[in-house]
């Protein structure tokens, strides 16, 4: 009986072995391969970002990185704590910082990001980037004390042009998130760096190249014990831009000086921008934003403290690009749009008009700048001295001709039509992320805004602004009366709205880039180009593959208006509101045409503008400068514009 039982058990065992090894062989082979190999991506060398002459604006450099084999930590009785403690002491960094890097993000007990490791669990643990090279290399001299430790040169972004910042144009890199990895269809891993702003984000796929792929085998503990196959990475392509490092440096310096000068005169000068466009093709030659930051702050990962300072309102939110995302009232620089609109409405281009100290609409007076009166003058002189009251009259009479408050559409409004023909109120399409469209306050926009904000406006009409009244009762009273009026009739496009619109005030807002494009269109005869930062791509050792310029539209000017407008803008610089800023400038060699603007913003100091192009007789570059809370355009923005033109005239 015992023999029969033993025989039956052996038979069952042999049968099961046969089933596993023969019948289910293929299934277990697939499972073994799945469980015991992993695919690890190897990032490619990122392409550089160059200026139009080939000077690197964002290059690749290296920093010393210290890693440790995960298997060494797994084999240690204490999980590797003693080894990491010795490394922390030798490298001069806190133990908790290194120990946290050994923990996979999301694992039980792992610290939060950015301390934990969000990359692949199948590569050596990167303990420290940017280590002191002398200390790090000293580790390799004691392999018994620091087993499994490797010291490598890790690629990072470098910014070699010491006089050029361009942080908002270049952008920055960040570790690929789980969402990035999931949506990449295998092209990204947690080790990869991806563009998070500017050109780095816009052209991330071209700059990043194609990562390499390594298939590694694992032991039962999940530790790498061999390599199955390997495919080398393909380097990314260099991005050649239209930026000129010399002009970019000049724009940044001029903008910084303008803000500093304004603050010395009692202005807040809290933000601003300077833009230079090639009027012949829309190329972005320079784009400076203020305040700015050091783009190298992102290298090797940014701290919570540094990130907070970049997004702080108290610090001026330096992470925001004022070139494409800063919306400001254009003030008198907008008159280049209003003048052809007024002529389209039937006003004589060669007529004489009364420039009084104020213009009355209903029971409200709209003042000229500093309430100055010039008497009867022609339109050229009105542009030269920037007379507001003549444009109030143009706008009011046009508003009446359209039906006043009874007008339901903007179809017959020449000021709205001309604004949109210049591309205002819509994004320019520049190859940078985060562009804002600005605002043209037409009737449709007023209606939509009123409907969206009516509930809150009517609530404020009842309750007022007690939080404001605590420190500024007069302003609180004004805000409440405004809320009462807007609650009832905020959808109406009133005569005052039309008057403010004609001089670039009220709800009108534009970006510096948009105004640079407006003046570029005036300079080149009416062509609206799509602003383009990228010039083309170049593979390592290859030739440039250019990106063709794109025409976005054309502006049609009433007969005779364009040359008249161009001549008027020369007069502004030669004898008008910008003459002081350009005193002593070689206008015979580099004639400049431009317009100043001083924008009024409720509760803030004036916004300073100067938009120009040159040479006036053969236009090549358009320049826009704006300083928020910077005072007048002639005293703050125009001198900055002059400094930029000083460099541009040397490029001929």
d(CA 131, CA 137): 10
CB-based contact 285:247 (threshold 8 Å): yes
pLDDT at 31 over 60: no
Are the beta carbons of 216 and 222 closer than 8 angstroms? no
CB neighbours of 456 closer than 8 A, spacing ≥ 6?
Answer: none
Distance, CA of 409 to CA of 501 (rounded, Å) = 16
**pLDDT, greater one: 454 or 602:** 454
Instruction: Of 151-160, 273-282, 283-292, 360-369, give the lowest mean pLDDT range.
Output: 151-160
Predicted TM-score (pTM) of this structure: 0.84
* φ, ψ (nearest 5 deg) of residue 396: -65, -45
Task: Give the pLDDT of residue 371.
Answer: 75
Alpha-carbon distances of 252 from 56, 100, 291, 314, 576, rounded to whole Å: 17, 40, 10, 21, 26
Under 8 Å CB-to-CB from 78, ≥6 apart: which residues? none
Give the model confidence (pLDDT) of 76-116 as tens digits: 888 889 999 999 999 998 888 788 878 777 777 777 665 66
Could you tell me how many residues make up the chain?
652
What's the rounded Cα separation, in Å, for the pair 652 and 647?
A: 10
Question: Between the CA atoms of 575, 579, 584 and 589, what dihedral angle is there, to the nearest 10 degrees?
Answer: -60
In 3D space, the residue among 153, 151, 129 whose CA is nearest the CA of residue 142 turns out to be 151
Question: Which residues are CB-contacts of 545 (< 8 A; sequence separation ≥ 6)?
Answer: 536, 537, 538
Whether the pLDDT of residue 633 is over 80: the answer is yes
Cis peptide before 291 (omega within 30 of 0): yes
What average pLDDT does the chain have?
90
Give the tokens for residue 496: 């005052």
Which of residues 643 and 8 earns the better pLDDT score? 643
Indicate the range of 156-160, 432-436, 615-619 predicted with least confidence: 156-160
Is the distance from CB of 321 to CB of 295 less than 8 angstroms? no
Please state, as a whole number, how many other Cβ atoms lie within 10 Å of the Cβ of residue 16. Answer: 10
Return the pLDDT at 120: 61
pLDDT score, position 4? 84
Cα-Cα-Cα-Cα torsion 546, 43, 101, 300, nearest 10 degrees, comes to -30
Contact 56, 161 (CB under 8 A): yes
The confidence band for 63, taking pLDDT boundaries of 50, 70 and 90, is confident
Task: Give me the pLDDT at residue 300, please.
Answer: 63
**What is the DSSP code (8-state) at residue 410?**
S
What are the helix (H) ranges across 345-472?
A: 379-385, 389-401, 414-421, 443-463, 466-469
Q: Which residue has the tokens 């301390």?
A: 115
pLDDT tens digits, one per residue of 240-258: 999 999 999 999 999 999 9
The DSSP symbol for 103 reads S
Residue pLDDT, tens place only, 380-396 = 999 999 999 999 999 99
Burial (Cβ within 10 Å: 0-12, 13-18, ≥19) of residue 454: middle
Residue 259, helix vs strand vs coil:
helix
Residue 615 preceded by cis peptide, ω within 30: yes
pLDDT of residue 105: 73
pLDDT at residue number 29: 65
Residue 526 Cα to chain centre, angstroms: 27
Kindly report, residue by residue over 385-438, the tens digit of the pLDDT: 999 999 999 999 999 999 999 998 998 999 999 999 999 999 999 999 999 999
Model confidence over 176-215: pLDDT tens digits? 766 777 777 767 766 677 898 999 999 999 998 887 777 8
Cβ pair 408, 442 in contact under 8 A: no
Lookup result for tokens 């403690």: 85
Instruction: Give, for 552, the enclosing helix (H) or strand (E).
Output: strand 551-554
Q: Measuring CA to CA, which residue among 520, 496, 632, 498 is closest to residue 577?
A: 632
Six token digits for residue 599: 């924008």
Phi, psi (rounded to 5 degrees) for 462: -85, -45
Between the two ends of the chain, the Cα-to-Cα distance in Å is 109
Pairing of strands 49-50, 238-241: parallel
Please state, in angstroms and rounded to a whole number, the distance separating the CA atoms of residues 319 and 433: 13
Distance CA 585, CA 456 (A): 52
**pLDDT for the residue numbered 117:** 65
CA 199 – CA 233 distance, rounded (Å): 22
- How many other C-beta atoms lie within 10 A of the C-beta of residue 112? 8
Task: Assess whether pLDDT exceeds 90 at residue 330.
Answer: yes
Q: How does residue 508 score in pLDDT terms, banded at 50, 70 and 90?
A: very high
Q: Which residues contact 216 (CB under 8 A, 6 or more apart)?
A: 37, 38, 40, 122, 224, 226, 227, 228
Burial of 401 from C-beta contacts in 10 A (0-12 / 13-18 / 19+): middle
Indicate the SS3 state at residue 539. Answer: coil
The CA–CA distances, whole Å, from 249 to 206, 260, 487, 614 equal 26, 17, 48, 19
Domains of the chain: 44-210 (3.90.1310.10), 443-492 (no CATH)
């Amino acid at each position: 009986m015992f023999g029969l039982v033993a025989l039956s058990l052996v038979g069952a065992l042999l049968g099961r072995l046969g089933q596993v090894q023969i019948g289910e062989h293929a299934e277990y082979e697939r499972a073994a391969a799945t469980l015991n190999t992993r695919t690890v991506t190897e990032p490619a060398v990122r392409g550089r970002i160059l200026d139009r002459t080939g000077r690197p604006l964002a290059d690749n450099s290296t920093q010393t990185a210290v890693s440790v084999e995960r298997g060494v930590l797994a084999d240690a009785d204490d999980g590797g704590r003693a080894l990491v403690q010795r490394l922390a002491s030798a490298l001069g960094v806190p133990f908790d910082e290194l120990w946290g890097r050994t923990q996979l993000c999301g694992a039980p007990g792992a610290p939060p990001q950015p301390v934990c490791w969000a990359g692949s669990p199948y590569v050596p643990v990167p303990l420290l980037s940017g280590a002191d090279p002398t200390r790090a290399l000293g580790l390799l001299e004691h392999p018994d004390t620091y087993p499994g430790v490797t010291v490598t040169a890790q690629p990072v972004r470098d910014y070699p042009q010491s006089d050029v910042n361009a942080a908002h144009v270049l952008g920055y890199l960040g570790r690929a998130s789980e969402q990035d990895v999931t949506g990449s269809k295998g092209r990204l891993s947690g080790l990869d760096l991806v563009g998070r702003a500017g050109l780095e984000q816009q052209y991330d796929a071209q700059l990043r190249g194609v990562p390499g792929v390594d298939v590694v085998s694992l032991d039962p503990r999940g530790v790498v014990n061999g390599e199955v196959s390997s495919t080398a990475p393909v380097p990314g392509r260099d991005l050649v831009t239209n930026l000129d490092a010399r002009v970019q440096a000049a724009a940044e310096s001029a903008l910084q000086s303008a803000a500093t000068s304004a603050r010395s005169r009692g202005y807040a000068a809290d933000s601003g921008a300077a833009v230079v466009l090639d009027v012949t093709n829309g190329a972005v030659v320079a784009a400076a934003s203020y305040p700015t930051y050091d783009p190298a702050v992102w290298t090797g990962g940014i701290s919570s403290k540094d990130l907070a300072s970049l997004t702080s309102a108290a610090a001026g939110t330096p992470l925001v690009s004022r070139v494409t995302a800063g919306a400001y009232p254009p003030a008198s620089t907008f008159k280049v749009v209003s003048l052809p609109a007024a002529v389209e409405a039937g006003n004589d281009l060669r007529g004489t008009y009364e420039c009084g100290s104020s213009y009355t609409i209903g029971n409200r007076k709209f003042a000229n700048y500093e309430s100055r009166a010039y008497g009867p003058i022609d339109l050229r002189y009105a542009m030269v001295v920037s007379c507001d009251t003549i444009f109030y009259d143009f706008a009011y009479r046009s508003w009446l001709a359209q039906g006043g408050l009874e007008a339901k559409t903007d179809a017959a409004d020449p000021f709205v039509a001309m604004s949109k023909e210049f591309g205002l109120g819509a994004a320019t399409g520049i190859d940078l992320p985060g562009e804002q469209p600005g605002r043209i306050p037409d009737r449709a926009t007023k209606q939509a805004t009123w409907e969206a904000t009516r509930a809150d406006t009517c609530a404020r009409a009842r309750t007022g602004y007690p939080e404001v009244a605590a420190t500024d009762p007069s302003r609180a009273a004004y805000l409440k009366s405004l809320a009462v009026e807007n609650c009832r009739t905020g959808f109406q496009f009133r005569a005052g709205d039309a008057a403010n619109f004609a001089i670039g005030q009220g709800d009108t807002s534009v970006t510096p880039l948009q105004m640079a494009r407006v003046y570029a269109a005036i300079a080149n005869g009416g062509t609206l180009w799509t602003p383009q930062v990228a010039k083309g791509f170049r593979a390592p050792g290859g030739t440039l593959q250019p990106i063709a310029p794109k025409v976005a539209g054309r502006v049609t000017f009433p007969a005779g208006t364009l040359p008249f407008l161009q001549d008027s803008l020369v007069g502004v610089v030669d004898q008008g509101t910008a003459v002081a800023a350009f005193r002593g400038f070689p206008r015979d060699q580099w004639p400049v045409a431009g317009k100043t603007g001083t924008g009024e913003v409720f509760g803030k100091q004036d916004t300073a503008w100067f938009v120009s192009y040159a040479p006036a007789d053969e236009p090549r570059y358009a320049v826009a400068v704006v300083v928020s809370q910077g005072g007048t355009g002639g005293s703050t923005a125009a001198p900055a514009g002059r400094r930029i033109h000083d460099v541009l005239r040397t490029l001929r």
